[in-house]
Amino acid sequence: MSPRDRRPPLVSFSSTELESFTSTTSPYDPKSPSDDSDALKKRWYHYLPLCCTVFFILAPHPSWLYVLVDFHLQTLNRPVLFITHLSVSYLLTFLAFSSLIVLVARDPGPVSVPPSRYETTPNDDGEEMGLMDALNDDDDFSAPGKWCRKCWLTILVDHHCPWLGAKCIGHRTYPAFVHFLTCISLLSLYIAVVSGNALWYAFHNPLSIHEYTPIHELALTFMGAAFFIIIGSFAAYHIYLTFTNQTTIENITPFILLRHLPPLPATGHTLSDPPLEPELSGPQRRLVKDAHQQIYLYDIGWRNNFSQVFGWNRPYGWVYRLWYGGASKGDGKTFPRNPRSQELLARLATELVKLDANR
């Protein structure tokens, strides 16, 4: 596999640079021990959004139990339906918490074990690149395979999520993240539909139910619908990213294509090789944005994309991924490329040079 078939290489740094940098800019406690296992400890307030996440998952359940018992068990006298709704809702809750535990507990990416993760690695010119060189580089160090600007970890990062313990969603936790969003969306939709149906019955049979039951049903219907619209939209977006094998950063950053372009001609243009975003004219920027909607660098077919993202090899390997989402395959550094991407990138490079000649 050639260097251009890889996502950008990891950048590591020396322990001296780490101590100098974290003492002034790290979001974590600079007074923590110098031991590597404690170097990135978070403060207590980083976990407050996670507590809110858990609260939002559990908050509807008292009202949900009240509606199930009062309406389905006592009013309708349908114990089978009661057990069905109870089982489905708590199964989805269990699955959501399973993937949430994975997101909180698992290392999000393939960070080397100490002390090798602090060793310098060669840059494109064959010279060693340290921390400050990486941060002063013209490239965006939040790009895939480089730096998360929050955790300061070198991982294949999708995005940084404060709601999950201020952790990155990376190579090894992205499947659990999609699983978590999907379970929460399905749970919200299920509660909204069942509660809405019970509320409709209450409007047509006001004398047959308890006077407080419609209040719980109305609240559950509204909350379930709101969470489904919000979380469900987010889940649908990430399922789309899985279909096309993109990260969030790759999807929202069209100019990331520039670093993957083949070598440009030596003369006939004023662009760097690879071109930098500030160098581009208006027409060139529009060209790159249009190309970004067509060039999916790592799209190897939706079946293979799902297999790669969720990490199964066997025909039915996806079955136990239904429990917690699984983990992506590979080392998080190199990935198979879309066989058509190089041709499309070459065409993009040619068009950029043509537009540059007409400036």
Q: What is the pLDDT of residues 264-297, one digit of tens each?
A: 888 778 888 889 999 999 999 999 999 999 999 9
pTM metric for this prediction: 0.75
Coil, helix or strand for 160?
strand
CA–CA dist 317, 303 (Å, integer)? 13
Structure tokens at 212: 């407080």
Boundaries of every domain in the chain: 45-110+143-237
CA–CA dist 332, 358 (Å, integer)? 41
Coil, helix or strand for 345?
helix
Q: What is the pLDDT of residues 175-191, one digit of tens each?
A: 999 999 999 999 999 99
Q: Give Cα 1 distance to the centre of its chain.
A: 26
Coil, helix or strand for 70?
helix
Residue 131 pLDDT greater than 70, yes or no: no
Which residues, 6 or more positions from 239, have their beta carbon under 8 angstroms from its beta carbon?
178, 182
Q: What is the pLDDT of residues 307-331, one digit of tens each?
A: 888 887 777 777 878 888 887 877 7
Q: What single letter denotes the amino acid at residue 116?
A: S
Structure tokens at 144: 């895939």
Q: What single letter denotes the amino acid at residue 59?
A: A
Q: What is the pLDDT of residues 29-44, one digit of tens each?
A: 434 333 333 335 678 7
- End-to-end CA, the chain: 36
Residue 130 pLDDT greater than 50, yes or no: no
Q: What is the pLDDT of residues 153-179, one digit of tens each?
A: 445 566 677 777 777 788 888 899 999
